[in-house]
Chain A
Amino acid sequence: MIREEEALGKAYDARLMRRLLGYARPQFWWILLALGLTVIVTASTIAQPYLVKIAIDNDINTVSLPMVTYPIGQAPAGVPAVPFDGRLFVRVKALPTPPASTTPVYTILAQGGQTAMIQGPMPHQAFTIKNGGHAVQIGTRLLPAVPVPVAVMSRFRQQDVRGLELIGILFLGALLLAFLANYLQAYILQWVAQSAIFSIRKDVITKIEGMPAAFFDKNPTGRLVTRATNDVEALEEMYSSVMVNMIRDGLLLVGVVVIMFQMNTYLAFVSIAVLPVVFIAANIYRNKARMAYRNVRLALARINAFLAENISGMRVVQTFQRQSAQEEKFRSANGAYRDAGIREIRLFAIFRPFMDFLYTGMVAVLVWFGGGSILDSALTFGVVYAFIQYIQLLFQPINDVTQNYSILQSAMAASERLFVLLDHPAELTDPPAPRALPAAEGRVAFDHVSFAYTADNWVLRDVSFEIEPGQTVAFVGATGAGKTSIMSLLARFYDAQQGRILVDGVDIRDVKQAELRRRIAVVHQEVFIFAGTIRQNIALNQPLSDQEIVRAAQLVGADRFITRLPHGYDEPVQERGSTFSTGQRQLLSLARAVAADPAILVLDEATSNIDTESEQQIQMALENLAGTRTMIVVAHRLSTIQGADRIFVMAQGQIRESGSHQELLAQGGLYYDLYRLQYKEDFKLT
């Protein structure tokens, strides 16, 4: 049996993972493309703070950079030079080679909207611009200065504005690239995921469809449907996000750390010092969250089970006057769910804000250490700004890990159930070298067949009989006498424990099941009508012409009610044929069997539970069909089978009497009693 698993298994199982990834293999190149796009997205994400750093250090925060002077017209080519005060000013940074250390440098100082140029580098102490920009006081010293008018200032800063615009364009490009890559990547991964679950679903359905009847006895349909639907669905996120997210997070982590070290080793060490704390916190949280989540799921499952049971058993609850007692029980299940939920909230309420706190704390640390370095001129402000941004990026993958983990966990649980199903051995297989059935005759033989559904509960004991081609035979007997089991064995829904069953002289275990069943059509006790039209229900995917379909319906007498339907043969079937009477549905399934044109036609209690009119029609159909093929009829009402060539009377899994109607009546045995009783009843009550 394939059981539902309640507990949460491990989050990663290499064996399961390999099989799961196998389903994505056909999309290997697409996955590779998605990975490439992921690299682009990550690169763009990492590039953005760096662009801001460049903007700050090279363009925004540049007013006081040291400059050297050249006579008018003699500045090096390709370097921005601003004419002022009869000379050309060029930033030292812009020069291809640094000037000699003796070359005088000039610096623009800005304060409260005033700007003044002094000779010498930026002072380390506080300064004040005085005399309308003609002097600058540094400490007690008063230096001469040249005021720089606003119009000239904007000439000095022209290059910075241009630089900013360039950064803006680059930034925009990075955004656009990330946008496109991000969208394409998500789309491709979804495509990969959907393709993978499409083929898993196909395998699962194919597997289940191929299982023998006994498998369906043991496993409730609902559970099998869940395998093919919800369990497969649970894998979707595994393919669409976890697979690539983990790689992206790794790339991001490595990329950020590398760029941090490239910018400044000291601050990088300070920054990654927090990582162990983050990892430990995330790890503790992950374990606790897993338990908390599991408790919530379990409590919810309990509520669902309780509700399912109590809603369907409400009548019992009410007749036993136990409403308040059940409410009390529900209160405890409901309360457990509430408490599990609150515990989960509390856990989350600590973890997420704690991560936020770590981030803010890291900013404080950067303000202290980074700010100190700026004051020592060891760092530019842009670097500190970039670090603050990068720290935020460092936290993202660690937060994602927890989410990926739970996705992985449910995917593993679902795939475990699926693979158990897929690895389930087919109990009833085709032989490795199947024999072909000889030309269809319709000969059937049971040779000392004994059969039990479950160990030692023998339903058939040493049953032997032979049916000649073209004969009509009937099986009668009480419920549980073994009639239906004979039909199930003949169509090989089960294998008998002892004896052989021969169709046209060949043991049915030596031929392909499909070939066997093409020779035998069974009309079952429980009629099954498929969604679709009447026509589709009769033809059942066979390429039959309209005439053939109509002929089959006419032969069994289903034609009359079908032509009375508003759309005739194209009438759509509502809700599994619930709008048709039992008799009409029975006629339909009989027509379906006839349309299949089998050599052997089996009617398993096809006439029980139907109204007299339909019964008479089926009776006529049987007479029409008699002689055209071998027919095996299981019937409750003896009137249906009086014309049979041979009648087998079954009791306790054995054939007790056999012969024609007249012969059996003459014997005066079980059949005779049965007949007398039914005849009288039918006579009196109709």
Chain B
Amino acid sequence: MRHFRALIPYFRRHRWFYVFGVGALLGADIAQLILPQVLERFVNTVQRAGAVQSDLLPYALALLALGIIIFATRFLWRNFVQGAARLIDYELRRDLFHQFTLLSPNYFNHHKTGDLMAHATNDLQAVRMALSMGVVMIADTAFLITSTLIIMFSTISPSLATFALLPLPLAAVVTGLLGRQIHLRFRAVQDQFSTLSEHVQENFSGIRVVKSFVQEQPELERLMGHSREYFDRNMRLVRIWALIQPLVQFIQGLAFVVALVYGGILVVRGTITLGAFVAFTSYLGLLNWPMQSIGQLVNLIQRSGASLQRLDAIFSERPEITDRPGAVAPAKPLEGALQVRHLTFTYPDSTRPATSDVSIDLPAGRTLALIGRTGAGKSTIISLLLRVFDPPPGTIFLDGIDILDLPLATLRETVAYVPPDNFLFSETIAQNIAFADSELGRDVIEEAAARAAVKGEILQFPDGFETLLGERGVTLSGGQKQRVSLARALAKTAPILILDDSFSAVDTYTEELILGGLLDLRQNRTTILVAHRVSTIKHADLILVLEDGRVIESGNHQSLLAERGFYSRLHQRQLLEDRLGGSPEGRGA
């Protein structure tokens, strides 16, 4: 229950919607309560000897008026209450996304995208249900049940009310109890559905192995076993789920039979009038919905409580990387001189340091290259520089300022970054390139694309720079993606440019072309290249060869070749591979 407290500010903001909405709801209830009274008087009038048709006019008109009132009030409460729930749903989702933008990249490494999305849709939907139908059920049941009971007991017949209502609490108990069982069995069904999905997924991703070993048939039988279990669990659910509706109808029917027989006898005895009998059966009908919803309400509150708890966990998550207290942007724009002093860093969930005692001194406007095997620590250095993880204090400096003392925004504005995964958004190519600044002119965008050697290919698309990317648009090849991602970084005016393994899907010729284009740009930009190929980095002012987190060789291309160490062997090997002629995009498919 305590998780519902988080909703109070949202609730308060829209309180008038709820006040009016619940007001309208109670208005509709009151009109519904008056209706049987009109029927009662109509019946008694019809029964009276000597009545004429014009005596009935007031009742017909009253019913019509009540119909209009019920229509209007129901229209209003649906709009007010459900509308308010939609507004709160919107605000919660907006705030949730805001929270996502604050959380550190590491948070997203540890939480599956699918789960986070489910919070923003399914969990919010459960909360929205509580905020609309939950509120309505509470107000409606409480008001309708109490007032109907009062009317039945005080104005019709206490003994009739007692006997006829006797079966009704059963309906609430049945929906409540069976509801819980159904919830459990439903969970079992869903679990089996996930199991089935996982195995189908496994089968499809391992299809080559399955086919190589001619295991299609046994695998199919195994999957059908899971499918059969899913079937069985569904039937176990159905066994009680199919019971609820008929059972509740039966219980309500039972109450009606009592009202019919006992109420009929009371009319026969002259204890109540025929009109009162008719009114009583109408009131009984009014109780049907609230009695069922008591049971549903309990489940609804439980479910939305669980959803709120999950949402609460995200909202109370504190970002790991934040501005330090007192971090201020320097008065002068940063130039991009990089210093790294004895950087040793170990990832939170690891015991082995990812970098050990790395030191770099790079004046502004120069080019640094990092090379080494996978896992040598190249990307770690970039991550620390970008503060994806915080480096130890006093290890990384920009223009002599510890990057921990810079506001995150300033640091990120200083750097233009080409990530290794070349992540692009499902927008137009122009929008992707102008990602850093949506105000960028078309000339800047085209120039960046030209520098990244992708402009020609872009112009070949029918829509050119307005080509939509992603699921609903064009799928770019790996090399094209990489170069658009490069153009995106080049379009950003920042003193530091970082290319994190940005030529892996580009052939050597294009790579030369791009690097050549970058040369004049590099004059006033500090550039950091992370690469696997020597050809990428041979023009760098400073090359660091990394192995197991340590710098094992450093210098420029000439001096490193002269050392005849790791670097020169790598160089020879890559020359030979070029001669053997495998191209990175050669495998197609």
Contact = CB atoms under 8 A, between A and B. Distances in A.
A514 B212 CA distance: 8
B254 A325 contact: no
B301 to A, nearest CB: 22
Contact of B412 (A123, A161, A321, A531): A321
A375 B52 contact: yes
A124 B49 contact: yes
A154 B90 CA distance: 66
Given A225-B200, A315-B105, A361 B67 contact: yes
**Among B101, B102, B108, residue most surrounded by chain A Cβ atoms (within 10 Å):** B101
Contacts of A345: 78-79, 82-83, 86
Given A454-B589, A518-B214, A225 B246 contact: no
A154 B270 CA distance: 10
A320 B492 contact: yes
20 contacts: A161-B268, A167-B260, A179-B250, A194-B238, A208-B204, A222-B201, A310-B97, A311-B117, A312-B108, A312-B423, A353-B72, A357-B67, A361-B63, A364-B63, A364-B64, A375-B56, A479-B587, A481-B582, A517-B212, A651-B580
A182 B56 CA distance: 40
B70 A493 contact: no
Nearest to B216: A209
B120 A341 contact: no
B51 interface: yes
B21 to A, nearest CB: 11
A361 B220 CA distance: 59
Interface string A373-416: 01100000100010000000000000000000000000000000
Contacts of B245: 182, 186
Contacts of B162: none
B200 A229 contact: yes
Interface residue tally on A, bucketed by range: 35 or more
Query: Closest 10 interchain pairs by CB?
Result: A478-B582, A480-B586, A360-B67, A126-B50, A541-B218, A349-B78, A480-B582, A186-B242, A353-B74, A364-B63
A110 B44 CA distance: 13
A461 interface: no
B216 A190 contact: no
Contacts of B257: 168, 171-172, 175
A128 to B, nearest CB: 10
A375 B53 contact: yes
A524 B45 CA distance: 90
B142 interface: no
B70 A357 contact: yes
B462 interface: no
Given A209-B220, A330-B94, A372-B53, A459 B588 contact: yes
A335 B249 contact: no
A662 interface: no
Contact of B108 (A315, A353, A480, A674): A315
Interface in A564-620: 576, 589, 592, 596
Interface in B186-227: 193, 196-216, 218-220, 222-224, 227
A3 to B, nearest CB: 9
Main secondary structure of the interface of A (DSSP, over half): helix
A596 B213 contact: yes
A125 B49 contact: yes
Given A157-B268, A194-B234, A337-B90, 19 more contacts: A52-B260, A123-B49, A167-B261, A168-B257, A178-B253, A209-B203, A216-B207, A228-B200, A319-B419, A346-B79, A354-B71, A357-B70, A368-B56, A371-B60, A478-B581, A480-B585, A520-B212, A524-B209, A677-B576
Contact of B264 (A55, A304, A307): A55
A338 B87 contact: yes
Interface in A158-172: 160-161, 164-165, 167-168, 171-172
A331 interface: yes
B572 interface: yes
A521 B213 contact: yes
Contacts of A153: 270
Contacts of A322: 435-436
Contact of A182 (B67, B87, B213, B249): B249
A60 B271 CA distance: 12
A551 B45 CA distance: 98
Interface in B122-178: none
Contacts of B94: 327, 330-331, 334
A221 B67 CA distance: 55
Interface stretch (A75-83, A86-94, A199-207, A272-280): A199-207
A229 B260 contact: no
A517 B90 contact: no
Interface string B56-85: 110111011011101110110011001100
A211 B265 CA distance: 73
A75 B255 CA distance: 39
Contacts of B110: none
A477 interface: yes
Contacts of A518: 214
B576 A673 contact: yes
B101 A225 contact: no
A589 B209 CA distance: 9
Contacts of B581: 478, 481, 651-652
Contacts of A385: 278
B528 to A, nearest CB: 13
Interface in A661-686: 670, 673-674, 677, 680-681, 684-685
